[in-house]
Structure 1
Amino acid sequence: MGPLGVTELANATALPKTTVHRLLKTFEAHHWVEFNRDKKYQLSWGVLPMAKSFLTSLDVRAIAQPYMVAIRDQLQQSVNLFLAQGDYRICIERVAADKPLRNDIKIGTVYPIFKGAAGKIFGAYLGGFKDADMSASESSQIRHDGYVVTRGNRVPDAASIAVPIFSFGNKLEAVMTISGPIGDYTEERVKEYLSVMVVLGQTISKQMGATL
């Protein structure tokens, strides 16, 4: 797909033009897109590190995807896989359940790295994010527990559980989450979901070369 104008992008994404324009200005500031002489937006050099991270994520995607399908079918929750890129996190794989949510996640969606359940995992294990609303004690507790549960953190009517995925050298490679309507995340169901997700994270991590 070649360069596109604001109106074309708004039509393609079904987003308001004001929202598209605001996003483009953010992307332009990060050199992800640039405004060309034809007054259209095109990809810029800033996407190259992101593309490199995407390519290096192919192994974790290939390993995780069959498990994600199985977990979606078992728990009836959407399953998402995130990769860190600078101060942001990117959804690199998603297996959706039939439970649509407002502001639902899509493959390729970029979020501030410290937002949501996945962001808390990244913040706890990678650290150094000055905007992260997380104390040292919470960060330590997350590393001890090996998971995060949030309700209404990013989307008011949604809840999520996140677990880390490690690779060789026990390096944080990615974060996997399940998400769904907040009503699904009762205390009893959270225990059920956690019993599956924690084991899943460990299983994928071992296949990625981690020694847990």
Structure 2
Amino acid sequence: MTRDGAESVERALNILRAFSETRREMSLTEISQSTGLYKSTVLRLTASLEACGFLQRGEDKLYRLGPELWRLGAIYRRGLDLGEFIRPVLRRLVDTTQESVSFYVRDGDERICLYRQNSPRAVRHHLEEGERLPLDRGAAGRVLRAYTAPKWPLGAQIREDGFYISLGERDADVAAASVPVIDNAGRLRGALSVSGLRSRFDTKAQHLAIEAMKMEAARLADHLPASD
């Protein structure tokens, strides 16, 4: 590509960058003022961007972002590895609780342990990523069920509380607490769970785990990419 060609690409990208949440539509003059480009240059570049679907020009002569950007954005979102957001959260929760921490998602009538950070303690609840567990037993399973099956009788109380604690439901020696992870669009993305030996998961430990998970879930809501 020649230097002139590269400059044209940069100028076209600057036109797209001129749009924002508070500036969703602009006239030719406004784009020129925002980018510092001559109107003749803006007219030429916007015609190319419009032809490729990156811009749309309405009957009111105002330019708006086009559907091609939505398509590329959807590809970008699907390509993001949620692990880059989830794994730091799991590590912080392990540091806080000293217990094992997991992130589960629902898959049909089961839940999958998508991400896991095991406790540093010698005696701990151990689980591998990718394992499938039931929805009807265990804290994370019940949380996922409560938020995906609105008519489930026990779901209303779990949704009102915003958490669930299980004591020996799936394994007599294991206790766990779980909270939902809900993004800013109101969609359930999964469930965080802290699990450990029932003998040391007393009221104080339960409260610590729930408060820490709720704080991390709220933080995740601001960072998780939108789901389709």
Do they fold alike, i.e. is TM over 0.5? yes
Q: Which amino acid aligns with 2:103?
A: L
Q: Secondary structure at the match of 2:185?
A: helix
Q: Displacement, 1:58?
A: 5.6
Number of the residue aligned with 2:97: 75
Give matches, 1:22-61, under 5 Å: 59-61=81-83
Alpha-carbon distance between aligned partners in 1 of 2:132 and 2:157, rounded to the nearest angstrom: 26
Number of the residue aligned with 2:128: 106
Is residue 190 of structure 2 the alignment partner of residue 174 of structure 1? yes
Give matches, 1:81-100, under 5 Å: 81-97=103-119, 98-100=121-123
Consecutive unaligned residues in structure 2, runs of 5 or more: 1-76
Give matches, 1:102-141, under 5 Å: 104-127=126-149, 136=153, 138-141=154-157
Number of the residue aligned with 2:169: 153
Number of the residue aligned with 1:188: 204
Q: Displacement, 1:189?
A: 2.1
* TM-score (norm. length: structure 2): 0.59
Q: Which amino acid aligns with 1:84?
A: R
Q: Mark the CA change 1:191 to 1:91 in structure 2 (over 3 Å): closer, same or farther.
A: same
Q: Mark the CA change 1:184 to 1:57 in structure 2 (over 3 Å): closer, same or farther.
A: farther
Q: Displacement, 1:145?
A: 1.2
Alpha-carbon distance between aligned partners in 1 of 2:172 and 2:80, rounded to the nearest angstrom: 32
Alpha-carbon distance between aligned partners in 1 of 2:78 and 2:127, rounded to the nearest angstrom: 21
Q: Whose Rg is larger? A: 2
Consecutive unaligned residues in structure 1, runs of 5 or more: 1-54, 130-134
Deviation readout 1:117-158 (Å, 9 max, x if unpaired): 1111111110179xxxxx62x311111111111110111101
Number of the residue aligned with 2:30: none
Give 4+ residue runs of structure 1 displaced > 2 Å after superposition: 55-61, 98-102, 112-115
Q: Displacement, 1:188?
A: 2.0
Q: Mark the CA change 1:70 to 1:196 in structure 2 (over 3 Å): closer, same or farther.
A: same
Q: Displacement, 1:57?
A: 9.5
Q: How many percent identity over aligned positions?
A: 25
Number of the residue aligned with 2:215: 199
Alpha-carbon distance between aligned partners in 1 of 2:141 and 2:79, rounded to the nearest angstrom: 18
* TM-score (norm. length: structure 1): 0.63
